[in-house]
Amino acid sequence: MPPDDDLIPLEGLLAWRLSMAGHLLRRHTEQAIGPVGVPRPELGVLIRLLEEDGLPEAEIGRRQRCGPTTAAALLDRLEAGGLVRRGAPGGGPSRAWLTAAGREAAERGHALVHEVEDASFGVLSPADRRRLAELLGRVVDGLSAPVPPDA
């Protein structure tokens, strides 16, 4: 533990700031998307399918940075709600497609998420927003990399 005179204030730690920003963004996003009637994790899957319909389940999990069990559970709930349909054409990997109701929910949710993003990051110039997105993308990629086993 560093001596008291070397103690970095909590607000000075990037991890704390990023965690707090994530917490606040989640809260604002969940409030904004409430009228859509789809929880945030499931809405993320719907938006992925809006971007590219018919994705394999494994790819949905990879893009959402969750395991295959979690991805399957999210898709199970969406399928039960009539928002996606699943199948394995030609005996290939299981894929998911938006239903009409799922497309409507995804489009509505996507618009609301953009409103939250614009309100949240409106204090930044477009160039600063692009740079922040680039930097955070690198951090997320680094955190998503497999952790090597202890030697």
Residue 62 lies in a domain: yes
Q: Write out pLDDT tens, residues 38-95.
A: 999 999 999 999 999 999 999 999 999 998 899 999 999 999 999 999 998 888 889 9
Q: Write out pLDDT tens, residues 37-53.
A: 999 999 999 999 999 99
Residue 125 lies in a domain: yes
Residue 149 lies in a domain: no
Residue 12 lies in a domain: no
Structurally, how many domains does the chain consist of? 1
DSSP string spanning the chain? ---GGGPPPGGG-HHHHHHHHHHHHHHHHHHHHGGGTS-HHHHHHHHHHHHSTTEEHHHHHHHHT--HHHHHHHHHHHHHTTSEEEE-GGG---EEEE-HHHHHHHHHHHHHHHHHHHHHHTTS-HHHHHHHHHHHHHHHHHHHSPPPPP-
Residue 81 lies in a domain: yes
Residue 98 lies in a domain: yes
Residue 151 lies in a domain: no
CATH code of the domain covering residue 35: 1.10.10.10
Domain residue limits at 117: 25-144
